[in-house]
Amino acid sequence: MSADHREQQPGQQGSRIDPHVDRYALRAQGMVASEVRALFAVASRPEIVSLAGGMPNVAALPLEQIGDLVKDVVSEEGPAALQYGSAQGDPVLREQLCEYMTLEGIDAAPDDVIVTVGSQQALDLITRVFVDPGDVVLTEAPTYVTAINTFAAFQADIRHVSMDEGGVDAGELDEALTRAAREGKPVKFFYTIPNFQNPGGITMTAERRAEVMQVCERHDVLVVEDNPYGLLRYDGQAQPTLYSQGRGNVIYLGSLSKTLSPGLRIGWALAPSAVRAKLVLAAESAMLSHSTFNQLVVRRYLDTFPWREQIKTFNTMYGERRDAMLSSLSALMPRGCTWTEPEGGFFVWATLPEGIDAKAMLPRAVTERVAYVPGTGFYADGRGRASMRLSFCYPTPEQIREGVRRLVGAIEGELDLRDTFGSTLGPSAEGSQAPAADLP
């Protein structure tokens, strides 16, 4: 490959400035920078109320006590904590995670668990183990943005299934599976976030869960159940996990990022034994082993800390924030706006009146000193232009109320524009576009 050869490809994006452009793997073409990344940098300015990121409020943790705990790990278990570990993860921690999962009604064996760098890495390992280029992965629409990125990075054919307020549409899921079978395209798994979905804020009803499991079993398709928010419920009744209804066809993903700390990067997958073995091999080539230090810190935390009480503390705090957001939206949002009413988790999904484009509105919102994530980022196919994800996890109730006031100011400005000039939706409302990466 000569410099001349490269210059003969002026149409290829970046060919003039990246001398390595001809060297990348095909899958690297699916790795694209977020179009709203720049706006996120702006959104982190102190004068902005950010309803964008999904960062938990870790400042609510008892930091002095956790400081003592991490010190004890080093001084009492340092030679182990600072050493390499196994790719599957610490055995004692895996036992504790099984105990943790009993709170979700899951009866699991430690040997079926692999500890991962957040549940994001579990998603990555699963995709790596199952997905050849062109294989179908089904997801809810909308869905978690970095799941889309991961599936795209392994060249999956990502297909969405609609949701209503009871969760994913089981009939449409059935149709999608039937269509893929007719096309002869293997469906590697259906990815779902049944509780307080990111970004929809929707929880799948018990009835819907049973229907979804029947459909997936009939089509012999794996289910990947991502449940980072399950224990953060502020009202209503917990629903049974898909895992506990499955017959060896569900891979369950858990995480301590929302109930303890994302900075420790402790997530896990619970998988049928043969699949778990493959995930461990993939993890070994991905990073040898997770941080033993972090695993022993979390082991000690789960062993010595009143962590169930800590989750209750989080639930009280996040419940107040959710209430602040829902009451502000009810009080202030212009006619024609709709939004979901989550029973837990971190997110509300809001949809704007006809003719308003949430992404086009974002610069105006930032001018009003509020930020959110435009809906298009949560689809692989360019849908979601009228919608946005609003997070209530990080700002205080007062900040949330002020943020919603500012957001409403931006929406009213767009409504004026629409009423004067027509729709603010741009011309390219259809077709694929890069998902917007953001914090989870």
CB of 42: closest distance to a copy of itself in angstroms? 15
Nearest-angstrom CA–CA distance, 137 and 83: 37
281 binds a copy of itself (CB under 8 A): yes
> What is the DSSP code (8-state) at residue 55?
-
Tokens standing for 159? 């297909």
Per CB under 8 A, the list member of 75, 237, 420, 428 interacting with a copy of itself is: 75
Asked if 419 touches a copy of itself (CB under 8 A), the answer is: no
88-127: contacts with a copy of itself (CB under 8 A): 117-118, 120-121, 124
Contact pick of 185, 278, 364, 405 for a copy of itself (by CB under 8 A) = 278
E-strand ranges in 79-164 read 113-117, 136-141, 157-164
Long-range CB contacts for residues 153-158, cutoff 8 Å, separation at least 24? 153/27, 153/30, 153/31, 153/127, 154/27, 154/30, 154/127, 154/128, 155/26, 155/27, 155/30, 155/131, 156/127, 156/131, 156/188, 157/185, 158/380
Residue with smaller CB distance to a copy of itself, 92 or 277 = 277
Instruction: Give whichever of 30 and 374 is closer to a copy of itself, judged by the CB atom.
Output: 30
Give the residue, chosen from 4, 10, 11, 26, that forms a contact with a copy of itself under the rule CB under 8 A. Answer: 26
By CB under 8 A, the count of residues binding a copy of itself is 91
Please, what is the minimum distance in Å from the beta carbon of residue 272 to a copy of itself? 7
What is the distance between the alpha carbons of residues 372 and 388, in angstroms, rounded to a whole number? 7
Of 198-227, binders to a copy of itself (CB under 8 A) are 220, 222
Residues 231-260, mask of contacts with a copy of itself (x by CB under 8 A): -----------------x--------x---
Instruction: Determine which residue in the list 42, 70, 210, 238 makes contact with a copy of itself, applying CB under 8 A.
Output: 70
Q: What gap in Å lies between CA 327 and CA 339, rounded to an integer?
A: 12
8 Å CB contact between 266 and 120: no
Check residue 1 for interaction with a copy of itself (CB under 8 A): yes
Q: How far is the CB of 340 from a copy of itself (least distance, A)?
A: 24
CB of 317 to a copy of itself, least distance (A): 14
Q: Which of 232, 426, 408, 214 is nearest to 317 (CA)?
A: 232
> Candidates 130-138, 209-217, 325-333, 336-344 — which segment interacts with a copy of itself by CB under 8 A?
130-138
Smallest distance, a copy of itself to C-beta of residue 38, A:
14
CA dist 349 and 340 (Å) reads: 6
Q: How many CA atoms lie within 13 A of 96 on its CB side?
A: 23
Specify the amino acid at residue 167: G
Selected range binding a copy of itself among 73-81, 167-175, 194-202, 338-346, rule: CB under 8 A: 73-81
Q: How far is residue 138's CA from residue 178's CA, in Å, rounded to a whole number?
A: 12
Q: Which of 7, 33, 334, 412 contacts a copy of itself by CB under 8 A? A: 33
In the region spanning residues 46 to 65, those forming contacts with a copy of itself, defined by CB under 8 A, are: 53, 55-56, 58-59, 61, 63-64
Q: Is 336 left (phi over 0), alpha (psi -120 to 50) or beta?
A: left
Is the CB of residue 106 less than 8 Å from the CB of residue 342?
Answer: no
Binder among 32, 210, 238, 417 for a copy of itself (CB under 8 A): 32
